[in-house]
């Protein structure tokens, strides 16, 4: 969600902006998770001025189709068009509650498939929208980029340029209706929000996220790297390095049209928030997920395309009978950070960034682990 402000709880304490590394990370997190959605959300509001307050964006898109005597979206078609962002469009009514990727998908659809503006006029605006989206992906998926001061300057400059281009676009649009884009108000709001960075306190969600992305991955790597690094072979009890004996699996992807055999890495291209890998006992499901965990933390494999879009990883085994809440799983992964910030705040931060949740052993689920799984599905 593109919201800002305190998460409540403990008294506010000013962030120490003299810590240059933390300050740079915080600025980039704030810019990409708050400023960018705010500006692009203003364009969504301009394009959907006729949307009723009670309508979700899925309802709004369906109404636009009905007005043109076209069939409404089926769930399958909606998912094909918007991928995992389709779930957000089904329930949200305000762009302030959408993240940047959902906003970009929504705008792309409206601009190119609903309104169908002149391609020459649209080209520059769409290019600047893409620049903002690409900056988000570049920065949030790479810690080195998060710690680069220039990225904050580049993004804020691009956002002001985007506002100017939107002003030009809507003032000269030859569409069926003249839409008003509040360029000056949006620029002023952007300037005001940038100024707020100086006064952010340690109860702000962006501070939690910044701390998480800076220190979270090493903590989880230490937790699972030692536990999963080696395995005992069943035939001769030899202890081997797990990744050295791992053979990549193929999986059968079942669709309404066909059953296709693909590399397991294609799982990560599915337009779903949740993917279930099923198979007979001994087929290699647990071996697969444990190797994915190790790949995530392996510097030589971390840049692999199928893992590059995730900032953090959380791994849970359903045979665990001692853990009852998702927040306790988070505490196990980020113990020091949870002690300092509070495990509920770390969980809130995780839910705002791109996290790969891996749950192993659904066939071993018990009363307690079921609560954890349900907690993740409802988060």
Helix locations, the chain, DSSP H: 20-30, 36-47, 57-67, 75-82, 86-91, 100-109, 119-140, 143-146, 149-172, 183-196, 205-228, 285-297, 326-333, 335-341, 343-350, 367-378
Here the CATH number for the domain that contains residue 240 is: 3.40.50.300
Residues 6-18 have a mean pLDDT of 49
221 and 184 fall within a common domain: no
Q: Is 335 found in the same domain as 224? A: yes
Q: What is the pTM of this model?
A: 0.85
Residue 142 domain-assigned? Answer: yes
Residue 298 lies in a domain: yes
Cα gap 229→241, rounded to integer Å: 6
Taking all residues of the chain, what is their mean pLDDT, rounded to a whole number?
86
Q: What is the CA radius of gyration of the chain?
A: 23
Is residue 368 situated within a structural domain?
yes
Which residue carries 């190119």 as its tokens? 112
> Tens digit of pLDDT for each residue in 70-110?
999 999 999 999 998 999 999 999 999 999 999 999 999 99
Total domains, the chain: 2
**What would the mean pLDDT of 200-212 be, rounded to a whole number?**
93
Taking only the tens place, the pLDDT of each residue in 147-156 is 999 999 999 9
Domain co-membership, 133 together with 187? yes
Write out the two tokens for 43: 């364009």
Residues 176 and 232 placed together within one structural domain of the fold = no
CA distance 187 to 177: 24
* pLDDT at residue 350, as a whole number: 95
pLDDT in tens, 271-314: 778 888 887 777 778 888 888 888 888 766 555 678 888 999 99
The answer as to whether 28 is a domain residue is: yes
Report pLDDT for 33: 97
- Is residue 93 in a domain? yes
Residue 201 C-beta-side C-alpha neighbours within 13 Å: 11
Is residue 138 situated within a structural domain? yes
Q: Looking up tokens 């001061």, which residue turns up?
A: 149
* Amino acid 81: pLDDT: 94
Distance CA 321, CA 364 (A): 10
92 and 185 within one domain: yes
Looking at residue 280, what is its pLDDT? 77
Distance (Å, whole) CA 65 – CA 71: 6
Q: Is the pLDDT higher at 284 or at 324? A: 324
In whole angstroms, give the CA distance from residue 116 to residue 113. Answer: 5
Residue 21 has a CB neighbour count (10 Å cut-off) of: 11
The tokens of 285 are what? 């499901």
Give the pLDDT confidence score for residue 39 in this predicted structure: 98
Q: What is the pLDDT of residue 8?
A: 44
Q: Distance (Å, rounded) from C-alpha 111 to C-alpha 169?
A: 12
Check whether residue 269 and residue 197 sit in a common domain. no
Average pLDDT over residues 124-131: 96
List, for residues 227-280, the tens digit of each pLDDT value: 776 665 555 656 555 555 555 666 666 665 667 777 888 888 877 788 888 877
d(CA 376, CA 194): 33
Examine the domain organization and report whether 169 and 228 are in the same domain. Answer: no
Instruction: Give the residue from 203, 237, 253 where a domain finishes.
Output: 203
Percent of the chain topping pLDDT 70? 84
Question: Which position has the higher pLDDT, 142 or 157?
Answer: 157
Check residue 12 and give its pLDDT: 45
For residues 83 and 146, membership in a common domain is answered with yes
Residue numbers of the domain that contains 344: 210-378
CB atoms within 10 A of CB 266: 14
The reply to whether 245 and 172 lie within a common domain is no
Is residue 3 a part of any domain in this protein?
no
Whether 163 shows a pLDDT value over 80: the answer reads: yes
Question: What pLDDT digit, counting tens, does each position of 18-46 carry?
Answer: 688 999 999 999 999 999 999 999 999 99
**Boundary-marking domain end, from 150, 168, 203:** 203
Last residue of a domain, one of 158, 184, 203: 203
- 113 by DSSP, 3-state: which? helix
Residue 12 in domain: no
Cα-based distances in Å from 318 to 273, 314, 322, 334, 335 = 19, 13, 10, 19, 20
294 and 272 within one domain = yes
The pLDDT assigned to 247 comes to 57
pLDDT band at 6 (very low <50, low <70, confident <90, very high): very low
Residues 125 and 264 in one domain: no
Does residue 34 sit in the same domain as residue 174?
yes
């Amino acid at each position: 969600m593109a919201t800002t402000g305190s998460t409540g709880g403990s008294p506010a304490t000013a962030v120490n902006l003299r810590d240059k590394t933390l300050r740079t990370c915080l600025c980039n997190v704030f810019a990409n998770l708050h400023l960018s959605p705010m500006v692009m959300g203003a364009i969504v509001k301009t394009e959907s001025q006729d949307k009723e307050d009670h309508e979700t964006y899925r309802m709004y898109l369906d109404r636009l189709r009905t007005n043109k005597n076209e069939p409404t979206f089926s769930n399958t078609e909606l998912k094909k068009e918007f991928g995992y962002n389709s779930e957000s469009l089904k329930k949200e009514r305000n762009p302030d509650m959408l993240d940047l990727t959902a906003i970009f998908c929504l705008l792309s659809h409206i601009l190119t498939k609903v309104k169908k503006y002149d391609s020459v006029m649209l080209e520059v605006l769409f290019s600047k929208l893409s620049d903002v989206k690409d900056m988000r992906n570049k920065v949030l998926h790479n810690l080195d980029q998060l710690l680069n001061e220039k990225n904050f300057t580049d993004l804020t400059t691009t956002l002001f340029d985007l506002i100017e281009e939107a002003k030009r676009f809507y003032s000269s649009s030859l569409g069926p209706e003249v839409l008003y884009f509040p360029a000056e108000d949006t620029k002023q709001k952007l300037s005001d929000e940038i100024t707020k960075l100086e006064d952010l306190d340690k109860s702000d969600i962006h501070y939690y996220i910044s701390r998480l992305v800076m220190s979270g991955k090493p903590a989880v790597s230490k937790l699972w790297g030692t536990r999963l690094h080696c395995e005992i072979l069943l035939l001769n009890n030899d202890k081997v390095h797990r990744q050295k004996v791992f053979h990549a699996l193929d999986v059968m992807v079942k669709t309404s049209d066909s059953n296709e055999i693909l590399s397991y890495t294609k799982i990560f291209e599915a337009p779903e928030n949740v993917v279930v890998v099923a198979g007979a006992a001994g087929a290699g499901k647990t071996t697969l997920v444990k190797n994915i965990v190790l790949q995530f933390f392996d510097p030589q494999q971390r840049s692999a395309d199928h893992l590059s879009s995730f900032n953090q990883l959380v791994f849970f085994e359903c045979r665990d009978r001692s853990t009852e809440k998702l927040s306790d799983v988070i505490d196990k992964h980020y113990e020091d950070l949870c002690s300092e910030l509070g495990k509920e705040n770390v969980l809130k931060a995780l839910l705002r960034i791109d996290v790969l949740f891996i749950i192993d052993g659904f066939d071993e689920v018990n009363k307690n682990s079921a609560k954890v799984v349900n907690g993740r599905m409802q988060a």
